[in-house]
Amino acid sequence: MAIFKVNGQSVQPEKNQKLLRFLRDELHLTSVKDGCSEGACGACTVIIDGKTCKACVPDTDSLDGREIITVEGLTEWEQQVYTYAYGKAGAVQCGFCIPGMVMCTKALLDENMEPTDDEIRYALRNNYCRCTGYVKIMDAVRLAAKILKAGEIPDDGDPNWTLGNRVARIDVEEKVLGYGKYPDDFYLDGMLYGVALRSKYARARVLSIDTSRAKALPGVEAVVTAEDIPGENKIGHLKHDQYTLIPVGSLVHYLGDAIALVAAKDRETAEKAIKLIKVEYEALPHVHTIEEAAAPDAPKVFDEEENNICAHKHISRGNAEEAIRNSKYVISHHFETPWTEHAFLEPECAVAFYDEDGDVFIYSTDQSAHQTLHECSLLLGTDKVKVQNALVGGGFGGKEDMTVQHLAALLTYVTKKPVKVKFTRAESLLVHPKRHPFYMDMTMGCDEDGNIMGVKASVTSDTGAFASLGGPVLERACTHAAGPYHYENFEIEGTAYYTNNPPAGAFRGFGVTQTCFATETLLNMMADKVGITPWEIRYRNAIRPGEVLPNGQIVDDSTGLVETLEAVKEDYDAAMAAGKPVGIGCAMKNAGVGVGIPDTGRVKLIVEDDEKLHIYSGASCIGQGLGTVLVQMIVTNTDIRQEDIVYERSNTWISPDSGTTSGSRQTLVTGEACRRACEKLMEDRRAGKELKDMKGIVYYGEYLAKTDPLGANVPNPVSHVAYGYATQMCVVDPKTGKLDQIVAAHDVGKAVNPLSCEGQIEGGVVMSMGYALREQYPIDENCKPIQKYGSLRLFRSHEVPKIKAIVVDKPGLKVACGAIGIGEITSIPTAPAIADAYFRYDGIRRYSLPLVSTPYERKG
Amino acid sequence: MAVKKKFPYKAAIVSCNGGCRAVKGEAGCSEGCIGCGACVDACKFGAISLNEYGVAEVDESKCIACQKCTKVCPQEIIHIHECANYIVVKCSNKSKGAAAKKQCEASCIGCGICEKTCTAGAVKVTDNCAVIDEDACLSCGMCSVKCPRHVIHDLRGIFTPAR
């Protein structure tokens, strides 16, 4: 057996295993994150003899005599430097990649105190980050180098924590040093490991399940099938059509449907037991495409449904048909966008156990603890359930549905013991809902000056094996297909089809990423027809305060589309004057759920025994920085200092339900609830109360973002309480054909933290560069996704072009101190801007994503 | 760095392990390094030498990727690669599995374990020999660890011994 050193201590593993497993499971060095265990993500990067190395790769037996360093082994000075540099630079979002990035930083700076920008890009390039777009991580490396050289950390004085200031996030230290806990970092006494048996076929009927051999395997504590579910088998976000376990006699809907669960003393035993379960299937023909799903004699994905239509929307205002008929210029085209995988760095994981109240307690990584509570209660047939958010390693919409939480809860319910269920990366790629692929046919009519007269469209989407949020995504795709422009005649029809592919659901942009590509591309084509620039046609059509959107809503004073266009003008003109290929796109995105659906933010502020003000809100921070937003909101609206405020992660028994982290809504909706709680608190403060006098008092704030339903019989319905607006432009290097620069200007109302806003913009832009240029999630004819994490072709640090993030403040929104969420819109106008830049580069119009014939195109 | 170089650094790599030293002659490998020393003579920087197995080996700290060696190699097995891609295939044997095994004790037999293991889809077995696409490679070394023939090397000496 090998003997080697870990953080200076000599160790000798008892059995040969992957270094990652030894560091995490035996030494509990949980800064070393398990993001894929297949060498792709880099979250487990450690330093071996001065070189970075992914800990999931080497076997411990091969490490005799080596010296290994993890983040836990940094000197105190290094810990301070990296915490300061990463915080100051705004490099930390979800944090899951950060310890690995810190290791890369250390390995580089230990050898080279004055790295060039290229050397920094290369030092990070084998590690993925899905949140930041790498820009601010590279800033952090530069800053760390400077501090290490100077030998002291700059004194920034007392930072101003009010709204509008670039403060370091509150969760930087725990994420940089790796002591903050994601669910996988919990190791409870006597904890079992749960694994699911997934279907062998995409569509089949389960005829029988024999678990006897699995049950007999030593170390197995439980084998669970549908019969063992105490409550409802079928759960789901809105529609309850997601089977937890497929019962005998029922249809399997996709390869990710679970048939049985095993809980065993360790993961290996559980996986062995899974293979011993015998399932008899009647394999049936499956539905793989929208065309197959829509065919009159199509096999049905659900026994319970009449056909394969999940949702249908028809939206019409004015008379689009007639307006187009009377237009001078008319362009029609067909567009297609692909499946996209969220690829958050942290795979799904949940840990459940019985707490001292006899409740099933779940540590979860999700976008709403209350949603998890609701669905798990339904499944278990009891409300004796508690959910506590751990840190969430990225979501982007992909952690809105139940994936592991309910399985861990069920296994704990059956075994009465703590159970961890953690997806392998392959399971994660298969199971959680993806971004919908869309087929779109769109027609636009304009007058001789380029004023849009009308738009008519028909779109279809593949929502896969269960509804998830397929209906709302389709609806948002349809409502926002009109674009942020002031015209009246708009008609769209949309249909979402069930297939036996993996499910599709929420994904940053929520349908708008897809239809925006079609609308904005048509507008770029129209500009050429009219003979004006794509910038000019947008400036002429742009919605301005007081005008009416195609959905009938009169927009308020915070509407800043024009300002975002003006913000990119200088760069746009400069690129045009230099003869560079430049493309542009605009977008709008709602903040808040809207369209008449109850959308409530709730916050409790409680002074606890430590005489600090604790923030309790059932709103998940998934890496976007909600905790910091709420702290800044309180500092701005009260006289309480930042050091006296504690942000508590969302839970379900103290924190009131503040809705899902979705629809760019938390900054506005929960932010306003927080502001209202501050008003109540200030009444006591003005009466002279000190924090010590306020112990135990609950200051409760609630805000209902009231909107009108679609089709409401009012002249100007308020579909959403607020919209963010954006203009992004892309410059292609005429020599290399690669991206040279992206300029992204975003109207956010009031920027709570401009540093965080920039981070969101850079991350959103890089994510959508992938969507535009090369990411794919191919599904083969057996409805099986074929890519691994490392071959999704997410952008890497050395491939990212210059990104100029411009934050535009535009007051006017009367709630949440004017702050409008920015989470999704950062990803929306990128693809059409890039597509147009490539058209200017080579004269080829591209109507589907990812774009073909660019240097980024996937080979082979 | 002994020589001033431009980032990203590039260097020559000899795609041969020198494993057939045991079975030279007719039974040996016809694609590997023959130890002729043409590259050693061609290199102005003293970056190439013949190692203890009689096979050419590049010292990356001295190499400037001038390509002189790649041009003179009669076997055409010296290539230029980016030094940041330290996981490399050190074999050029194109024989099928059993034959390749006979010819050399450290030959690629085209078993495809590397291809199956690779998360990035960066390794392809082409003409019975593994080839890494450096643009796609994430340098994790999983292929190197899994290779049953120790054909895929880690030039940093972490996953495979430094030579």
Long-range contacts of B115-119 (CB under 8 A, 24+ apart): B117/B142, B117/B143, B117/B146, B118/A790, B118/B142, B118/B143, B119/A36, B119/A38, B119/A39, B119/A40, B119/A788, B119/A789, B119/A790, B119/A791
* Cα separation, A393 vs A349, whole angstroms: 10
What is the three-class DSSP state of A409?
helix
Nearest CA in chain B to A38: B119
Best mutation target among B83, B119, B150, B156 (most A Cβ atoms within 10 Å) is B119
Pairs of CB atoms within 8 A across A/B: 64
**pLDDT, chain A, mean:** 97
Q: Tell me, yes or no, if B162 comes closer than 8 A to chain A by beta carbon.
A: no
Facing residue for B119 by CB, picked from A38, A48, A859 = A38
Instruction: Please state which of the four CATH numbers 3.30.365.10, 2.40.10.480, 2.60.40.10, 3.30.750.24 is assigned to the domain occupying A600-704.
Output: 3.30.365.10
pLDDT of res. A1:
83
Nearest CA in chain A to B154: A53
* Cα separation, A412 vs A261, whole angstroms: 12
Domain spans in chain A, listed from the N-terminal domain onward? 1-180, 192-284+345-394+399-431, 313-340+434-594+716-842, 600-704
Task: Please give the C-alpha separations between residue A191 and each of A194, A216, A265, A419, A593, in angstroms, as whole numbers.
Answer: 10, 20, 7, 5, 38
Mean pLDDT of A655-684: 97
**Residue A824 near residue A508, CB atoms below 8 Å:** yes
Q: Tell me, yes or no, if A9 comes closer than 8 A to chain B by beta carbon.
A: no
pLDDT of res. B29:
87
Chain segment A46-56, per-residue pLDDT in tens: 999 999 999 99
Q: Please report which confidence band the pLDDT of residue A120 belongs to, taking 50, 70 and 90 as the band edges.
A: very high
Mean pLDDT of A201-229: 98
Percentage of the residues of chain A whose pLDDT score is greater than 70: 100
pLDDT of res. A857:
93
pLDDT surpassing 70 at residue B163: no
Which DSSP string corresponds to A196-260?
A: EEEPSSSSEEEEEEE-HHHHHSTTEEEEE-GGG-SS-SEE-SSS--EESSPPTTSEE-STT-EEE
Cα B62 → chain centroid: 17
Facing residue for A39 by CB, picked from B119, B121, B156 = B119
**Residue A426 near residue A463, CB atoms below 8 Å:** no
Chain B residues in contact with A116 (beta carbon < 8 A): 7
Chain B residues in contact with A49 (beta carbon < 8 A): 158
Mean pLDDT of A613-634: 97
Query: Nearest-5° angle of CA A144, CA A147, CA A152?
Result: 140
β-partners of residue A579 are none
> Given an 8 Å threshold on Cβ–Cβ distance, is A116 in contact with B7?
yes
* Cα separation, B109 vs B128, whole angstroms: 6
pLDDT surpassing 90 at residue B24: no
pLDDT surpassing 90 at residue B26: no
Chain segment A812-855, per-residue pLDDT in tens: 999 999 999 999 999 999 999 999 999 999 999 999 999 999 99
Cα A402 → chain centroid: 15
Q: Tell me, yes or no, if A424 comes closer than 8 A to chain B by beta carbon.
A: no
Chain segment A393-429, per-residue pLDDT in tens: 999 999 999 999 999 999 999 999 999 999 999 999 9
Q: Tell me, yes or no, if B7 comes closer than 8 A to chain A by beta carbon.
A: yes
Q: Please report which confidence band the pLDDT of residue B21 belongs to, taking 50, 70 and 90 as the band edges.
A: low
Residues 49-78 of B with CB under 8 A from A: none
* Cα separation, A461 vs A659, whole angstroms: 26
β-partners of residue A194 are A263, A421
Cα A283 → chain centroid: 35
> Given an 8 Å threshold on Cβ–Cβ distance, is A788 in contact with B141?
no
> Given an 8 Å threshold on Cβ–Cβ distance, is B138 in contact with A790?
yes
* Cα separation, B120 vs B133, whole angstroms: 10
* Cα separation, A843 vs A461, whole angstroms: 29
| CATH, range B10-154 | 3.30.70.20
What ipTM did this prediction achieve?
Answer: 0.95
Best mutation target among B158, B159, B160 (most A Cβ atoms within 10 Å) is B158
| Burial class of residue A625, CB neighbours in 10 A (0-12, 13-18, 19+) | buried
Query: In sequence order, which ranges of A95-211 are alpha helices (DSSP H)?
Result: 98-111, 117-124, 135-150, 172-176
pLDDT surpassing 80 at residue A859: no
DSSP conformation class of A359: -
| CATH, range A1-180 | 1.10.150.120
Q: Please report which confidence band the pLDDT of residue B3 belongs to, taking 50, 70 and 90 as the band edges.
A: low
| CATH, range A192-284+345-394+399-431 | 3.90.1170.50
- Please give the CATH topology (third level) of the domain spanning A313-340+434-594+716-842: Aldehyde Oxidoreductase; domain 4 (3.30.365)
Chain segment B70-117, per-residue pLDDT in tens: 999 999 999 999 999 999 999 999 999 999 998 888 899 999 999 999
DSSP conformation class of A682: H
Which DSSP string corresponds to A35-94?
A: S-SSSSS-TTEEEETTEEEETTSSBGGGGTT-EEE-GGGS-HHHHHHHHHHHHHHT--SS
Task: Please tell me if the domain spanning A192-284+345-394+399-431 has the same topology as the one spanning A313-340+434-594+716-842.
Answer: no
Q: Tell me, yes or no, if A48 comes closer than 8 A to chain B by beta carbon.
A: yes
Query: In sequence order, which ranges of B2-152 are alpha helices (DSSP H)?
Result: 38-42, 68-72, 97-103, 113-117, 142-146
pLDDT of res. A627:
97
In 3D space, the residue among A436, A517, A434, A430 whose CA is nearest the CA of residue A473 turns out to be A436
Beta strand B10-14 with B78-82: parallel, antiparallel or unpaired? antiparallel
Mean pLDDT of A261-283: 98
Chain segment A10-57, per-residue pLDDT in tens: 999 999 999 999 999 999 999 999 999 999 999 999 999 999 999 999
Chain B residues in contact with A119 (beta carbon < 8 A): 7
Chain segment A301-311, per-residue pLDDT in tens: 999 999 999 99
Q: How far is B121 from chain A (nearest CA, A)?
A: 6
pLDDT surpassing 70 at residue B2: no
CA quadruple A504, A505, A509, A512: dihedral, nearest 10:
70
pLDDT of res. B1:
44
Q: How far is A58 from chain B (nearest CA, A)?
A: 7
Mean pLDDT of A741-755: 98
Chain segment B30-71, per-residue pLDDT in tens: 899 999 999 999 999 999 999 888 899 999 999 999 999 999
Give one word for A511, left, alpha or beta, with left for phi > 0 and alpha for psi -120 to 50: left
> Given an 8 Å threshold on Cβ–Cβ distance, is A788 in contact with B138?
no
Predicted TM-score (pTM) above 0.90: yes
pLDDT of res. B54:
87
